[in-house]
Amino acid sequence: MMKVDMYNNLNKRILLTGAVLLLLISSLVLIISCSKPGKQGASAVKEEAAGIHETYENGPASLTLDADKSSMTIAERLNLTIRVIVDEEYEVTMPDLTGRLEQFGIVDWHTTQPELLDNNKKRITRTYVLEPFLSGDYTIPPMEAQFYKESVGDADTHSISTSELTVKVNSLLPEDIKEMKLHDIRPPVPYPTDYRKWILIAGGVLLLTAAGIFAWFYYKRRARTVDAHAVMLTPHEIAYRELDELASEGLAEKGEIKPYYQRVSGILRRYIENRFGLRAPEQTTEEFLAGLDRSSGLPENFKPLLRTFLRHCDLVKFAEFMPGQEESLRAFESCRDFIRGTEEKERV
C-alpha cells in the first residue's frame, strides 16, 4: 500500500513539473511574438520618416508628393513622384520642373497614362530622377497642377499647389577635412628602359659588320683568283687578248691611225719582253734593234720581220705617215703572225 502511494505522489510531481514548464514556454513565445510587431512598426515609422510624403487637396482633386529621401549624400539620386487623383471627367495639367531646379539636375522623368480607379476617379503619376551637383540644402520650388472639365474646356480651370521642399545633401568628405594634411607628391617616376631599341641597333651593327667582313673576304678572294688567273696566262695569250680588245674598238675603221699604231706597237713590245725577257717597252726602236742583234733567244728568221714592222710603226708615230685602212689591217695581221710564230709551245 505504501508503494502505491509513493508511485502516485511521483506521478503528481512529474505532471506538475511538466505543467510549469509548458506554462513558461508559452509565456516566452507570447512575449517574443508581441515584441516583433513593435520593432517592425518602429522601423516602418523610421523609414517613412526618412522621405517626404505630403498630400494636398482642392475640391475633387488631390495631389500627393513623395520624395524617397529628405537627406542624402552627393553620390545618391532623389526620386520625386507627383500623383494627382481627380474625377475622370477632368483633364489634368501636371507640374513641370524643367528649368526650375537651379541645384538639382534632372537625370530622367516620365508620366504615366491615366489610370482608372474606383468611384469614377483617375490617377496620373509623374516621376523625376534628380541628381545633386554640390553638397548643401537643396530647395524644390512649389509645384502647381491644374485641372478642368473636358466638357467646359480650360475656361474654368482650377489648380492645386504644393509647398516648398528642402532636401539636405551631405558631402562624402569627412567633417574634419580642414585639419587633414596632404602628403607631398612623389617624385616623377622614370620611364622604363626600352631595350627593344638597343636590341635593334645592336642587330643592325652586327649585320653591317658581318656584311663588311663578307665583302672584304669576297673581294680578297676574287682578287687572288684574278691574279692567279693572270699568272696562269702565257705571254701570247695576253697579247692575243689585247689584240682582240683593240680590234673590237675599231680605231682603224674610224680613221684614228696614229693611236691605232701606238697600241699595236705597244702590244708587240710587251709580248717580246714577257716572252724573251727583252726590255722592249722602255727602249727606242734603234736601241731595241741593237739589242735584238745581240740576243740569241729570238729566232733569226723573225728578226727581219720585226725590224720592218717597228720602223713602219715609227713612220706613223713620228713622221706623220698616214697609211690607209687596208695597210693598217695588214700591220695588225703581221703583229699577230709574229706572235703566232714565236709563241711558247706547251710542254708535254
pLDDT tens-place string over residues 213-224: 988 888 877 776
Query: In the Cβ-directed half-sphere of 261, how many Cα atoms lie within 13 Å?
Result: 24
Q: In whole angstroms, what is the distance from residue 70 CA to residue 52 CA?
A: 6
Looking at the domain assignment, is residue 199 inside a domain? no
Looking at the domain assignment, is residue 127 inside a domain? yes
Residue 112: CATH number of its domain: 2.60.40.10
Please give the share of the chain, as a percent, with pLDDT higher than 70. Answer: 75
Specify the number of domains making up the chain.
Answer: 2
Q: Is 264 exposed, middle or buried (0-12, 13-18, 19+ CB in 10 A)?
A: buried
- Structural domain span for residue 241: 232-342
Q: Are strands 78-87 and 61-67 parallel, antiparallel or unpaired?
A: antiparallel
Does 322 lie in the same domain as 239? yes
Average per-residue pLDDT for the chain: 77
Pair 313, 265: CB distance under 8 Å: yes
Confidence of residue 279 (pLDDT cuts 50, 70, 90): low
Q: Is 90 exposed, middle or buried (0-12, 13-18, 19+ CB in 10 A)?
A: buried
**E strand map for 230-348:** none
Q: In whole angstroms, what is the distance from residue 217 CA to residue 259 CA?
A: 39
Final residue belonging to a domain, choices 171, 200, 220: 171
Sign, Cα dihedral of 326, 329, 333, 339: positive
Pair 148, 124: CB distance under 8 Å: no
Does 247 lie in the same domain as 136? no
231-245 pLDDT, tens digit each: 578 888 898 899 899
Looking at the domain assignment, is residue 189 inside a domain? no
| Residue 35: pLDDT over 80 | no
Residue 289: CATH number of its domain: 1.20.120
Element (H, E) at 312: helix 303-318
Does 56 lie in the same domain as 167? yes
Does 163 lie in the same domain as 74? yes
The predicted model gives 290-302 an average pLDDT of 70
Could you tell me which of 313, 304, 236 has the C-alpha nearest to residue 270? 236
Confidence of residue 347 (pLDDT cuts 50, 70, 90): very low
Looking at the domain assignment, is residue 301 inside a domain? yes
User: Which residues pair with residue 169 across a beta bridge?
Assistant: 72, 136
Q: Poorest-confidence range of 40-44, 112-116, 268-272, 306-310?
A: 40-44
Final residue belonging to a domain, choices 154, 171, 188: 171
Q: In whole angstroms, what is the distance from residue 295 CA to residue 280 CA?
A: 12
Element (H, E) at 144: strand 144-149
Number of H helices, E strands in the chain: 8, 12
- Cβ-based neighbour number of residue 143 at 10 Å: 22
Could you tell me which of 64, 165, 77, 66 has the C-alpha nearest to residue 117? 64
Q: Is 342 exposed, middle or buried (0-12, 13-18, 19+ CB in 10 A)?
A: buried
Final residue belonging to a domain, choices 126, 155, 171: 171
Looking at the domain assignment, is residue 183 inside a domain? no
The predicted model gives 70-74 an average pLDDT of 86
Give the residue carrying C-alpha cell 513623395. Answer: 66
Looking at the domain assignment, is residue 187 inside a domain? no
Query: What pTM was estimated for this model as a whole?
Result: 0.38
Does 166 lie in the same domain as 245? no
Q: In whole angstroms, what is the distance from residue 69 CA to residue 80 CA?
A: 9
Does 240 lie in the same domain as 143? no
* Whole-number pLDDT of residue 43: 37
